[in-house]
Structure 1
């Protein structure tokens, strides 16, 4: 059941003009998820025009979580533009008027707010009908826009509308099975299990992709949180503290089982405030919820929450006005920082939510079986000449060879994508001596600081690190005290400062990082006291800390044989600043040596909502400058891995970011033809793969499994890689799309190269989900967006200071 439009609209006299302008600018654009699928990048890549399939590796048989959606006939579909005279802004009213024209249109039709899709023609290019709204006539004109084949990308939007048409008989984009949610009274949480689905075209044809998802719902409302802050704050900065806790969070309203993101708080409004309904009458929020949902609001002295909302496709022409929510009716979702620190609770949650491949596949098979048994679903599919197959798509993959790790003078195989134990007592690839450094601790933690110092001295000789005695200094647990203590002992400038913190207070951490990354650029390491609480693991923890400090000083832990000479690797990712909401941060990280052990890092702070980066040429110029200083020449090739690209932005990425880099290289590198390969990385996908094992049932694919057929696109040079090994749960693949390639890399070469790069992230002695430059760029953008809020000092640009 969906909320009526009047609930979403405020009377104009209650709106602040500044907010209204921003809401109007941020109208949701329909169909963005499907725009990427009409972008044909493969046609310009002559070397893979015939085939994008690799051959290297050991063949493995897999299942996916895709089910074929087959067209049963070659009949066309008909798309009509629908015009209302006089115009009607309310999308739901427009749709309701069409429902009254069943004799003309038939029961089988899909409307997206502007266009109507029918499985049959209306007989004329232009057809008119008359209906009534409030006893006033409305002329509805249907103009044939085009005939479509059932596999046309233009139909994707309508198929997805079809599959989320009614929550009573169908599943929808994100649906929650209310009968299977679990309540945990100890932690005051509810865990809801649901599904996420999409219909998209692949090489094998149209498929329905379905996956299991979970949502954590706290047994606490937004009003409970507001009241608790009021009680503790004692009138000091109450609104600011409430704003920080609520804005950006997600809430769920149980009266309609919908999730909303809180974008602002209307302090001057309350549940007694009134708004204008679509019929022109005025009603208070209290009365509306009682009449519409039978829900009683008991507290009148509370502000309202503002959400910009995710508009349905049928509302694309409706003015983008805010949704106002009553805090008392909004349940908080997700976990607090305190909850995440509770190991027992996180373990219990994981047991509920982490499904192994066999459990996940069984749950999805139940869903497909339910859809096939549902007569309403089957009737609707038949009306559209569609048939949903009974089994998940079976396909072949290939498992690449294990990548050898080079550390010092030794080489290691990475069994189960983890080499933490076998390399622990081996000299590092490049060890940096630590001669002058500080450990700053708080009162009562001298013993912990001394123990940590001794453990570091114990583990570093085997790593090849010369570690001199640190100066141990005591400070109060405030940013000011930490900084003043540091400044008193900052001459000569220390190589490294280690802070032993009693708690993970974000304000203190941010203050320390801001000072040492912006105003007084020194590599720093923050260690929580509780991390040192288990004596049996102290040496392991000390080893990890020593490795991190070595990297931040410019050292290197290990390398792999990339197999590509004179190549620069670049990672780009974006992160939205949670404090300065008008800004987003783009991280740019580039290798500047042939072993991928030295990296140049720079970030760009830009306006919020700009996923596409405008200042790439500056970053690329600086990276090439450092490369030239090292090699006295430019690289032969540059391979870019771009993460964090939103749905529907592929063409814009080609037109803007890729064009920026191409133009710059053409202008600056005229004497040397620097080759450019640009790869889009996507982690947020719902595709899963399961390994067929008759004797053991369904398992995760092994690390290094590549899938480059069946669920890839004919218009793209794309593939999936399962790079990680997971002991619990279902592994998640990563999708790669090569959109530009003047290096002419073969499928085997780009797949192998990508998998090898997943071994080069120095903060984890194992394989990660994305290539290392991507994750470095994410860590950089995350630190700046979360803590610094401005660009770091340029003297740190050749150090991995953000690990």
Structure 2
């Protein structure tokens, strides 16, 4: 194989189809299973690394058929679909003038041939290719061409000269066009016991008859996994509502803290005033032949099709059928006929009553809620949340759309009270298509020429892999996992028994004319339901996909972010206003109100009011100032940057021998920064001597690395500070690899542009001085002393950074080393393929115990307190059963086996991505609650020991609380200790002179994991740097 990851084929199996769906009318929804799969084994690779290219009949490519293209992509050049290059135009060499007859449909002088020997493409009229319209591309499509099926085999991997094509892929691989669910109309003829309704063929039905032995290379399970496939998805949905007591045994249900001043709040939860008071029955549904897709099953069995037999009030989740009445003569058989004459037998059986408060009951309420939003309010489901495209706001000058949405859930809370939570969401959708962005990426903007195939793939993968996209034809969100340079819209797959190209497919199914026949296809992450059906790969057409979300470049653009924030950053008052509007729309829309009323459901029109508690303000202690230790109480905004001015740090570190590296171009900025550092340092207790300076004359990565390694004196140099000209990621990564892996040395990278403005340099220099102090083992501040019961505690923060582009995970592990929480020990390590961290956890804890003992006179920690970040509700059992067990095992080996008393262990799950919001209402209006607000009643879960905490103050928008769930506690502490410690730890993140959302060790762990996972390529920081916050 050639270079790793470039031009790879995606290992698709044979081109069998798993649905023989009928042709649909333009605009008519298509069922999800109407997806294509590729076919035909690849031919041998040719000299350019692709499948063999037969001669193309005359009239298609004219004189180009047998020409030897200079671009090395191994196929004749084809006409561009926009008419920018004429089909019969002769081959031109790079730089050769292009004759006017090459562009018979265009006016004006012809452009110059580009690197592929084609004429440059002019601006394309608006509406054809999205963001491509005004892009200055030197060729018609902006990236290396992939020849259509039959000319270049789309399954063939990019190979070096003389290499053969890849082997046949394993079974269980498919293609998907991300199609929407078909709607079923009412008024169809039905009859009991012999019920026949004309409909599309069952997924895989005709294909099974034709293929006999099954599809996907003989693996029948790829399409027909088993009768449990739909039930498996249904079971996973029900698990969300299955209460499981995960609460330390010394804590009673509803336990609350007592410290702090009471404060009355409202929250974005709505109580049920009425729930179904009649008996609800749940029935199990089987289909024969089997249908594995939940969406397809819902389409087959719906209230319109079987109203005579089931009634008007029907909710079906794809497996369980909910009715407010009892069916007699079970099992009941119903039938729906496919257009090919095949009938689906629907068997309804296994009746049982749904008990109020049971998982089935909660599931039913959530089904009704979601159907109200989808069918009655006309909202669009994207992943798990609903958005309203009709109310989208366009930001024309930046090419964005903001879609407002809502996130809802119905759960049982303290006292078994049912409530609906609701929060306002926004989805950022770019008007640029993926294809348009590919055009931009495929051009070398320094030369104006198109990148070659490998470099184009690298550019696509670097920016697009991991991005979320939205399909234009059915608003489905997907995540890109790779670019298939060997496929194009002219690639073929077997659909309804015939070879069909993607281009033909979209025309027949959606009446969409694809304009670019050369674009490579994008691979997106399969959904869980698709994986259960054996579909491991999904392909989409870039031209039909919109970019979503914000890139790093956009996030760093202040003007763009401000324009977006106008629509997304809602104040507390505005958020409450929109939530009230949604509640009114939800209850008062005619169809929605009718659906709720038929089930006997009624919500309160007012938010839940509850009581929180405001923790007392923490004291911050710094160095000796005017003869005594300086301390102050944290103000109501939880920010103490002003109080730190001209006050010595708690443990300052002077710079006596250090290295300052910068380019000749930035010498003036460097000298100004140095003067400012020497000015701000002494009042902070930090004496800064003149550094050894190194001036770089050529801004090349190799020059930077050599300048640093050649001038570091290991026993003398304390820290190196490179002044980078710009935010150059490759340069930054190279420097960090050098000083964190090869030549272990503390480093402080600064971007010249950030200190160019002399009005801001004083503030930035202060932050740089604090960071360098922390990296060298100092400490800027500490909080007030911890209670005596907590002395000897070691607080551990664990977070896992998942890299979606490489499918690898890095665990950050940070432990405190003293009672003031000013010293830390850090470990970080790569976990392959998203593996959980328990395999290495025992070792990490053992190392931390020993480091603690070395720094505390031989004393081991008396209490172990773990904050575990990055765990979803469905993973709590894994943490309990595997990670907590690993920690206890490490305690047994390090303590019990050596005759030491085993310390108490507490494990707390932290969750940041939550929809809960709190609002403080008084005579001044609706505001955010102040920092230190604790809520541990009413909206907490009865099966957990959990609480919410607002630790930050935000100047704009609505503050988001953090959720703490104490899942294990042999320290046997009461709520006050947990809540007080959590708030205290939020004051100790030294990169911010204020409180943060999570305890500092968690944020440090995140920083360490992120550095290792990105800049260091998964390699752990050198052990010589583990004793301080070297990654800050």
Which of 315, 326, 331 is equivalent to 1:121?
326
Aligned to 1:323: 538
Report the CA distance between 1:259 and its aligned residue: 1.9
Distance in 2, Cα, partners of 1:34 & 1:641: 28
Deviations 1:129-157 (A, max 9, x none): 34433322333333327533232134444
**Residue range with higher mean Cα deviation, 208-217 or 542-551:** 208-217
Distance in 2, Cα, partners of 1:780 & 1:163: 42
**Residues 652-667 of structure 1: pairs in structure 2 closer than 5 A:** 652-667=878-893
Distance in 1, Cα, partners of 2:646 & 2:965: 39
Distance in 1, Cα, partners of 2:387 & 2:578: 13
Task: Verify the 8 A CA contact 1:29 1:316 in the aligned structure 2.
Answer: no
Structure with higher Rg: it is 2
The answer to whether the aligner puts 1:202 opposite 2:413 as a matched pair is yes
Report the CA distance between 1:583 and its aligned residue: 1.3
TM-aligned CA distance change 1:74 to 1:300, over 3 Å: same
Deviations 1:696-752 (A, max 9, x none): 111000101111111110110001001100111000001110001111111111111
**Residue range with higher mean Cα deviation, 207-216 or 674-683:** 207-216
Task: Verify the 8 A CA contact 2:659 2:712 in the aligned structure 1.
Answer: no
Report the CA distance between 1:576 and its aligned residue: 1.4
The answer to whether the aligner puts 1:17 opposite 2:169 as a matched pair is yes
The answer to whether the aligner puts 1:477 opposite 2:702 as a matched pair is no
Aligned to 1:357: 572
Aligned to 2:895: 669
Which of 268, 276, 291 is equivalent to 1:88?
291
Deviations 1:340-398 (A, max 9, x none): 23222222222232110111111111111001012222232233332222111111111
**Residue range with higher mean Cα deviation, 759-768 or 789-798:** 789-798
Distance in 2, Cα, partners of 1:619 & 1:19: 40
Which of 400, 404, 411 is equivalent to 1:193?
404
The answer to whether the aligner puts 1:345 opposite 2:560 as a matched pair is yes
Higher strand share: 1
Task: Verify the 8 A CA contact 1:407 1:427 in the aligned structure 2.
Answer: yes
Q: Give the aligned CA root-mean-square deviation in angstroms.
A: 2.5
The answer to whether the aligner puts 1:259 opposite 2:504 as a matched pair is no
Secondary structure of the equivalent of 2:266?
strand
Aligned to 1:461: 682
Aligned to 2:998: 770
**Residue range with higher mean Cα deviation, 333-342 or 255-264:** 333-342
The answer to whether the aligner puts 1:715 opposite 2:943 as a matched pair is yes
TM-aligned CA distance change 1:50 to 1:41, over 3 Å: closer
Task: Verify the 8 A CA contact 2:838 2:886 in the aligned structure 1.
Answer: no
Distance in 2, Cα, partners of 1:570 & 1:559: 17
Which of 645, 648, 656 is equivalent to 2:871?
645
Aligned to 2:244: 40
Task: Verify the 8 A CA contact 2:775 2:1029 in the aligned structure 1.
Answer: yes
Which of 921, 925, 945 is equivalent to 1:692?
921
Aligned to 1:437: 658
Distance in 1, Cα, partners of 2:752 & 2:30: 49
Secondary structure of the equivalent of 1:768?
coil
Aligned to 2:718: 495
TM-aligned CA distance change 1:341 to 1:401, over 3 Å: same
Which of 662, 683, 691 is equivalent to 2:912?
683
Distance in 2, Cα, partners of 1:145 & 1:307: 40
Task: Verify the 8 A CA contact 2:774 2:1028 in the aligned structure 1.
Answer: yes
Distance in 1, Cα, partners of 2:639 & 2:170: 53
Report the CA distance between 1:784 and its aligned residue: 1.1
Task: Verify the 8 A CA contact 1:74 1:149 in the aligned structure 2.
Answer: no
**Residues 616-631 of structure 1: pairs in structure 2 closer than 5 A:** 616-631=841-856
Give TM-score scaled by structure 1 length: 0.94
Deviations 1:16-63 (A, max 9, x none): 7369469989999666576465453455x2332154211211111111
Which of 550, 557, 561 is equivalent to 2:780?
557
**Residue range with higher mean Cα deviation, 337-346 or 396-405:** 337-346
Aligned to 2:933: 705
Task: Verify the 8 A CA contact 2:32 2:296 in the aligned structure 1.
Answer: no
Aligned to 2:440: 228
Aligned to 1:269: 487
Aligned to 2:205: none
TM-aligned CA distance change 1:393 to 1:547, over 3 Å: same
Task: Verify the 8 A CA contact 2:234 2:319 in the aligned structure 1.
Answer: no
Number of residue-to-residue matches in the alignment: 797
TM-aligned CA distance change 1:541 to 1:303, over 3 Å: same
Report the CA distance between 1:102 and its aligned residue: 3.3
Distance in 2, Cα, partners of 1:80 & 1:282: 41
Report the CA distance between 1:159 and its aligned residue: 3.2
Task: Verify the 8 A CA contact 2:940 2:947 in the aligned structure 1.
Answer: yes
Distance in 2, Cα, partners of 1:615 & 1:48: 31
TM-aligned CA distance change 1:540 to 1:504, over 3 Å: same
Secondary structure of the equivalent of 2:256?
coil
Which of 708, 711, 722 is equivalent to 1:486?
708
Report the CA distance between 1:756 and its aligned residue: 0.8
Report the CA distance between 1:491 and its aligned residue: 2.5
Distance in 2, Cα, partners of 1:774 & 1:719: 18
TM-aligned CA distance change 1:350 to 1:726, over 3 Å: same
Aligned to 2:257: 54
The answer to whether the aligner puts 1:164 opposite 2:370 as a matched pair is yes
Aligned to 2:9: none
The answer to whether the aligner puts 1:510 opposite 2:733 as a matched pair is yes
Distance in 1, Cα, partners of 2:1021 & 2:403: 41
**Residue range with higher mean Cα deviation, 641-650 or 362-371:** 641-650
**Residues 725-740 of structure 1: pairs in structure 2 closer than 5 A:** 725-740=953-968
Report the CA distance between 1:75 and its aligned residue: 4.0
Secondary structure of the equivalent of 1:141?
strand
The answer to whether the aligner puts 1:367 opposite 2:582 as a matched pair is yes
Distance in 2, Cα, partners of 1:375 & 1:572: 49
Deviations 1:595-641 (A, max 9, x none): 10111111231123335543111110111010111221211111111
Give TM-score scaled by structure 2 length: 0.74
**Residue range with higher mean Cα deviation, 241-250 or 491-500:** 491-500
Task: Verify the 8 A CA contact 2:842 2:889 in the aligned structure 1.
Answer: no
Aligned to 2:1013: 785
The answer to whether the aligner puts 1:541 opposite 2:764 as a matched pair is yes
The answer to whether the aligner puts 1:447 opposite 2:668 as a matched pair is yes
Distance in 1, Cα, partners of 2:566 & 2:641: 26
Distance in 2, Cα, partners of 1:112 & 1:267: 39
Task: Verify the 8 A CA contact 1:177 1:194 in the aligned structure 2.
Answer: yes
Aligned to 1:376: 591
For structure 2, list consecutive stretches of 5 or more residues without a partner in the other structure: 1-27, 41-153, 156-167, 176-221, 445-449, 624-628
Task: Verify the 8 A CA contact 1:32 1:647 in the aligned structure 2.
Answer: no
TM-aligned CA distance change 1:726 to 1:144, over 3 Å: same
Task: Verify the 8 A CA contact 1:271 1:302 in the aligned structure 2.
Answer: yes
**Residue range with higher mean Cα deviation, 443-452 or 583-592:** 443-452
Aligned to 2:428: 216
For structure 1, list consecutive stretches of 5 or more residues without a partner in the other structure: none
Which of 632, 648, 653 is equivalent to 1:412?
632
Secondary structure of the equivalent of 1:348?
helix
Task: Verify the 8 A CA contact 2:460 2:483 in the aligned structure 1.
Answer: no
